[in-house]
Structures are given as structure tokens and as C-alpha cells.
Amino acid sequence: MKPHHAAAKWTFADFQSENYSAIMMEYTTPPSYGSTVVNVGGVVKDGEIIYAGATNTAEHMEVEEDPETQWLAPRALKLTWKGKTNGGDDVNAELAGSLGERLDKVDIMAKVPGFVKTLVGGVVGTKPYIFQYSPQQNLQLKIKVGDEEKVEEGMLFSEATFIS
């Protein structure tokens, strides 16, 4: 399958703290597949899976147009995990904040000759770029499992990928 048929854009996030790991991948299919949003993610505490599922959301809370690509690159992100533990307790977790300065912008077709890149972009409508972030300030994961609420600071690595 060609990547531009699988998804038009992705958001990936990996949060790590002393006791918690939270990961999420959300992608949107191209219009030819209904622009469907698909999300998978999970939360782990001390090596034990608390929650894994598909009832999560990734929102770009602030965006800024990248002058080179014209993609709306995220400046702030809000991630929400919602579901149940294996024991049936409700799980609600949220991480939100500024992404800070971008680590890198990867032109996926950088090694392709310019005329081929232009041809592919015009014919297929792809302009694939990956924007990578890891905020220098720690962000907070706010998590509630059943009646127990915790807040833990940690590091985030995030990517926003735009294909078509």
C-alpha cells in the first residue's frame, strides 16, 4: 500500500516520566477513504498496562503555517486518553502544553530529484514532511484511575507528519 493511501496525516506522541509512560498515534485517512480519524494509545505505570485502546484524541491546539511547506505545524498539543482498566475502573489522562521549538523538519522526499518531487507532488498530491518536537520544559500528565488522581511531570517526544 502506498503511504499517501494509508493516511493523509499522523500525530505521534511518547511521554515518559518516573512512573508513567503514555503513548499515542493518531492518523487521518485521505478523503478517498472518508477522512476517518483513527487513534490508538496506552498508559503504563511501573511496567503494568493501565489502559490501552482507541478512545483517545490528539489535538493541535495552536498551529503555525510553515512558510516552506504551507503545512499547519503544531505549536501546542493536547492528548487525551479515555477508557477502562482491565478491572473496569475508568481511566482519564490528559497531557497538554506548548511544544516549544521544533527539533527538526524532515522532508521525506529530500533525496528525490527536484523534477520528480514536483511531478509526484502535482500528480499524486503528496508533500510529505515530518515535524519533530521535544519540549525543553517538562509537561504534566494528569491521570485519574477510578477515584485516584495523580499528576506527574515528564518528557514528551512528538511528531506531526503531513503527507497529502
Kindly give the confidence (pLDDT) of every residue in the chain, 164 residues in length, as a single tens digit, with 9 standing for 90 and above.
455 567 889 999 999 999 999 999 999 998 888 999 999 999 999 999 999 999 999 999 999 999 999 999 999 999 999 999 999 999 999 999 999 999 999 998 887 777 676 666 665 567 889 999 999 999 999 999 999 999 999 999 999 999 88
> Contacts by 89-94 with C-beta closer than 8 Å and gap 24+?
89/145, 89/146, 90/144, 90/145, 90/146, 91/43, 91/50, 91/51, 91/143, 91/144, 91/145, 92/143, 92/144, 93/22, 93/43, 93/51, 93/141, 93/142, 93/143, 93/144, 94/141, 94/142, 94/143
